[in-house]
Chain A
Amino acid sequence: MNKISGIAASAGIAIARAFILEHPDYSVQKTQVNDTQAELDKLDDALQQSSVELEAIKERTLQELGEKKAEIFESHLLILNDPEFIDPVKSLITTESINASYALNEIANQFIAMFENMKSAYLQERAADMRDVSKRILKHLLGISQISPAEIAEETIVIAEDLTPSDTAQLNRKYVKGFTTNIGGRTSHSAIMARSLEIPAVVGTQNVLSQVTSGDLVIVDGLAGEVLINPSEEIVAEYRSKQQAYDQQIAEWKKLRDLPTLTKDNVQVELAANIGTPADVEGVLENGGEAVGLYRTEFLYMGRDKLPSENVQYNAYKTVLEKMSGKPVVVRTLDIGGDKELPYLEMPKEMNPFLGFRAIRLCLDRQDIFRVQLRALLRASVYGNLRIMFPMIATLGEFRAAKAVLLEEKEKLTSEGIAVSDNIQLGIMVEIPSTAVLADQFAKEVDFFSIGTNDLIQYTMAADRMNERVSYLYQPYNPSILRLIDMVIKAAHKQGKWVGMCGEMAGDEIAIPLLIGLGLDEFSMSASSILPARSLISKLSASDMIQLAEKALEQGTAEEVVELVKATVSK
């Protein structure tokens, strides 16, 4: 057996015989022609045939995969008719009296080189589109007849150097069980298409094409990013059961996507997602997220050379709120400083940046920055269910000051005649121990808490989470942390307020039973953790978890807590 590693591009396991999809020889020769008009006619015919083909592929993709995936072929059609592309080909044919295929290849290569030399990775990948279109035209010019991937009619794994967008769109899901290629990455077209077709895929293997012969038995493990060639019967059996387990799990998770999050004894909690950009919302909805529990606005400020304008921010917030269509969106105001620097602010270096001038401390001092963000948020608030939270609050005074600035900006907007929602919940991150300890006082004034465990743990343990030598002190299950969380939840509930959590811990399978027991209301995690978490919670009984949490609070060490959870939950 031979095993090759690549990039896991689309999850799942496929086992089938190999089908080698080799692209025909598209190399062209330069020939002098006498009748240039004949070459121009040939080119027109080839363009016409390509256009008919592309319309058909576009139509098929539209029906099977939806409008978004079909857009790429709309772009291909535009390239096909692009005067900047076709006119130079025609003039090359006429001025040099050469054959159409050579002229086309020459001009196409200029555009391919242009894209490959672009700064943006996205635009570099557009070279693939240019290649796809020019090959399609060349195919007709050269009279090549190729087995189209659409003609595959038995269960196969497709093996190729690379799959063009049109190859991938033509793969028949019924027969093509998986594919693997020599080149490509997680964001290449073929990978994106594979994920929407839900076909397991491993790309970027460098040499799979030379290792596999047509008809070999191949396993594509799109979970681990591995390809197994001619595996033994035992290995095949092992992968069949892995495949079954995975398919079962996916089916179970999918069923949960549009369901509320309920424990076995019908206690409901909310599963939300952490996002960084408006583009992340799609994943939240696909994974059944009930809210955005943390929108990290820092990304708006990073990777640029000056502060983002009010309008840039407004557009981003509005997009997220609209896409979530009325589901809650908790936006954290700027949390910069610490390990996240903005070079253009030219802040002095600090000895202890994590204990220094960051987040709300910076915003209350640099109100010119803070007010722009608040205005953008308030203006966007009418487009959905906006909640605002302030990061790194250490004292009630800081919260009051931040709230006062917010109210001032709201007042100003209202007097300018700009609509602002009147139902914006206002909360704080609980990530500093002083705030957790004084949660009962905060609870009287805030609408909600969101516990930021990553920082809460590092500040409680006095251990820098970037320092590997003290990383053993990063202990989410330490009873001291659990007791702080317990205090915060009890204090909030006493005032009728809700508590969320937006650190790593909220999606952790050991922590979830404890947090259910402690009475956490909202869990915010990476989108891909939502369905597994909903599945786990559906198997837990809240009343049992309350007892578990009570016992956990009385343990001495994190290890003891973990043992307790494992013993209770596996029962």
Chain B
Amino acid sequence: MQKTFKIVDEDGIHARPATALVNAATKFKTTEAFAESNGKKVTLKSILGVLSLGLEMGDTLVLITEGEEEEAALDKLQEVMIKEGLGELHE
């Protein structure tokens, strides 16, 4: 499953929200989670991976989950994206 977000935080994705995303993804042991942006795909279970995307405001970010709890995981990740003011669902 996947959902596309647009980064709305004017600072892009910083360490604090990235930490929240990685913590959320890591909770789902049976599900793989990835982030894809600008043609680069990284695991969401790595903070260095997420930061390496160098996301900035206006960038598009695709969150992908694969596995047993892919739906719950994607919902949780979306919740973090919105709650942290990071991004909005791309219309």
Which A positions have Cβ atoms within 8 angstroms of B? 71-72, 74-75, 78-79, 82-85, 111, 114-115, 118-120, 122-123, 126, 129-130, 277, 279, 304-305, 311-312, 315, 319
**A479 smallest CB distance to B (angstroms):** 43
Asked whether A118 lies within 8 Å of B54 as measured between CB atoms, the reply is yes
**B57 smallest CB distance to A (angstroms):** 7
B16 at the interface (CB under 8 A from A): yes
Asked whether A71 lies within 8 Å of B15 as measured between CB atoms, the reply is yes
Asked whether A304 lies within 8 Å of B45 as measured between CB atoms, the reply is no
Asked whether B10 lies within 8 Å of A277 as measured between CB atoms, the reply is yes
**A196 smallest CB distance to B (angstroms):** 15
**A456 smallest CB distance to B (angstroms):** 30
- Beyond the given pairs A75-B47, A79-B47, A122-B12, 12 more chain A to chain B contacts, judged by CB atoms under 8 angstroms and listed by A's residue number, are A78-B19, A78-B22, A82-B46, A82-B48, A84-B46, A85-B48, A111-B48, A114-B52, A120-B56, A126-B15, A279-B10, A315-B8
The interface residues of chain B lying within 8 Å CB-to-CB of A85 are: 46, 48
* A111 CA to B49 CA, complexed, in Å: 10
Chain B 10-36, CB within 8 Å of chain A: the 1/0 string? 111011101100110000000000000
Asked whether B48 lies within 8 Å of A122 as measured between CB atoms, the reply is no
B67 at the interface (CB under 8 A from A): no
12 sample A-B contacts, Cβ–Cβ < 8 Å, listed by A number: A78-B22, A82-B47, A83-B43, A118-B54, A120-B56, A122-B12, A122-B14, A123-B51, A129-B15, A130-B48, A311-B88, A315-B88
Asked whether B56 lies within 8 Å of A119 as measured between CB atoms, the reply is yes
The interface residues of chain A lying within 8 Å CB-to-CB of B18 are: 75
Asked whether A84 lies within 8 Å of B54 as measured between CB atoms, the reply is no
**B38 smallest CB distance to A (angstroms):** 11
Residue of A nearest to B54 (CB): A118
* A120 CA to B15 CA, complexed, in Å: 13
If over half of A's interface residues share one DSSP class (helix, strand or loop), that class is named, otherwise mixed; here it is helix
The interface residues of chain A lying within 8 Å CB-to-CB of B56 are: 119-120
Residue of A nearest to B56 (CB): A120
* A312 CA to B82 CA, complexed, in Å: 12
The interface residues of chain A lying within 8 Å CB-to-CB of B51 are: 115, 123, 126
**B70 smallest CB distance to A (angstroms):** 20
Asked whether A84 lies within 8 Å of B57 as measured between CB atoms, the reply is no
The interface residues of chain A lying within 8 Å CB-to-CB of B54 are: 118-120, 123
Among A114, A120, A130, the one with the most B-chain Cβ atoms within 10 Å of its Cβ is: A120
Asked whether B19 lies within 8 Å of A312 as measured between CB atoms, the reply is no
The interface residues of chain A lying within 8 Å CB-to-CB of B58 are: 304-305
- Ranked nearest first, the 8 interchain pairs of A and B with the lowest CB-CB distance are A84-B46, A78-B47, A75-B15, A118-B54, A75-B19, A84-B49, A82-B46, A312-B8
The interface residues of chain A lying within 8 Å CB-to-CB of B52 are: 111, 114
The interface residues of chain A lying within 8 Å CB-to-CB of B15 are: 71-72, 75, 126, 129
Residue of B nearest to A304 (CB): B58
* A85 CA to B19 CA, complexed, in Å: 15
Residue of A nearest to B57 (CB): A304
The interface residues of chain B lying within 8 Å CB-to-CB of A120 are: 12, 54, 56
Q: A79-B48, A82-B46, A82-B47 are in contact. Are A74 and B88 (CB under 8 A)?
A: no
* A118 CA to B85 CA, complexed, in Å: 22
**B12 smallest CB distance to A (angstroms):** 6
* A565 CA to B40 CA, complexed, in Å: 64
**A76 smallest CB distance to B (angstroms):** 9
**A447 smallest CB distance to B (angstroms):** 30
**A297 smallest CB distance to B (angstroms):** 13
Residue of B nearest to A318 (CB): B85
* A258 CA to B66 CA, complexed, in Å: 51
* A115 CA to B15 CA, complexed, in Å: 12
The interface residues of chain B lying within 8 Å CB-to-CB of A82 are: 46-49
